[in-house]
Amino acid sequence: MTKPKPTPISSRTRIALLIASAGVLSTLSACQKTLLHADDARSPFDRYNQTRTQYAPPFLEDEYGRRTPNLRDRLVQSDE
């Protein structure tokens, strides 16, 4: 008995496999820890404000639990 020859893979199938594998790899690489945490100092100005107890958090939560940017407190100029 002779074994049947394997059929060659068409170029369209190869391209589809490459796209699918790229999609899987990009999805798996997105499941990593964030580089910056919410309590990290973002700039020298943030560290300056933290040492003088003038630090304003970047986001506030309203009574419904929605996060909104804390623009008013962060853009206020200090007296110094």
pLDDT per residue, tens digit, the chain (80 aa), is: 677 777 777 888 889 999 999 888 877 766 667 666 766 667 777 777 778 777 777 788 988 989 888 888 777 776 65
Longest dimension (CA), the chain: 93
Percentages helix, strand, coil for the chain (3-state, rounded to 5) are 40, 10, 50
> Does the CA dihedral 37-43-29-12 come out positive or negative?
positive
CB 28 within 8 Å of CB 46: no
pLDDT at 19: 93
pLDDT at 11: 85
- For the chain, domain boundaries: 41-80
pLDDT at 18: 92
